A and B are shown apart, each in its own frame.
Chain A
Amino acid sequence: MKLLSWNVRGMGGVAKRREVSQLVREKNPLILRLQETKLSMLDAFVCNSIWGMSMSIFRIARRRGLPEV
């Protein structure tokens, strides 16, 4: 069982998003925790694109436009 935590410093770009999803595929964590995604909108579609397949649960905290997953 693994947990991942990463301050990604912005996840709007395709390259960064690909990097996160690659890390998830590689490590297969039970829980992924991101800081500073800087995404104004984070929905099931974005989360699924990161997680690969359908993500079971996602939670977002928004602080001055800096959401965390």
Chain B
Amino acid sequence: MSVSLDHVLAVAGRFLHSGEPFVVFNVYAPCEAPRQQVLWNVLSARLAALTDQIVCVCGDFNAIRCAEERRSVSTAHYRAGVDGFNSFIDSNLLVDLPLRGRTFTWFRGDGRTMSHIDRFLLSEKWCLTWPTCFQLALSRGLSDHCPLLLAMDDQNWGPKPVRMLKCWRTFLGLILLCAILGVLFR
């Protein structure tokens, strides 16, 4: 089931494996702060009816949460939408996971203006269902925005730790093998 609102496409579904319902909101927010506020209000009304559900609000919000999320030659009017966006996130108890991969998600052609305006916002239930989920910014390609990836059930815990048994020291070849591997993987 899907609902199309101004600047938002909401799709509701059910996970096949668990049968749990979920709702995803695809957002493409306007640039001007007053119009953004209208959108936050519309979204808040929808989210209020979805408490304790698996909800994800994502897309291009055209808004930042703090000064560090934007880099520009001018510092004008960046604060306009900050408070409204923050209070939208906080009042709806949405979780904004740290962005991995890169600091900014949008870049202007001049190479000096960039900001973090794309993100995944998750409900508490979403985070409890997938406690290890994370959002990752991928390489930009032809667009001026980076694609964002939200990965769940990730079993990749990083490089495997090295294990060694004390008795291995008694093998004469071990020192030689370590030396060779050390050279190969330097």
Binding site for B on A (CB under 8 A): 1-9, 13, 15-16, 19, 23, 27, 29, 31, 33-36, 57, 59-63, 66, 68-69
Contact = CB atoms under 8 A, between A and B. Distances in A.
B15 to A, nearest CB: 9
A68 to B, nearest CB: 5
Interface string B101-134: 0000010000000000010100000000010000
B20 interface: no
A29 B149 contact: yes
B149 A31 contact: no
A4 B56 contact: no
Given A61-B26, A63-B6, A66-B28, A5 B147 contact: yes
Contacts, number: 94
B148 interface: yes
Contacts of A1: 130, 151-153
B58 A63 contact: no
Nearest to B26: A33
B9 interface: yes
Contact of A3 (B2, B6, B58, B144): B58
Nearest to B148: A5
A54 to B, nearest CB: 17
B128 to A, nearest CB: 15
Contacts of A4: 147-150
B150 A5 contact: yes
B4 interface: yes
The 8 lowest CB-CB distance pairs between A and B, nearest first, are A61-B9, A7-B145, A6-B147, A35-B28, A7-B60, A59-B2, A61-B4, A3-B150
Contacts of B149: 2-4, 27, 29
Contacts of B151: 1-2
Nearest to B117: A7
A16 B152 contact: no
Interface in B118-172: 118, 120, 130, 138, 141-153
A66 B62 CA distance: 15
Nearest to A31: B24
A2 B153 CA distance: 9
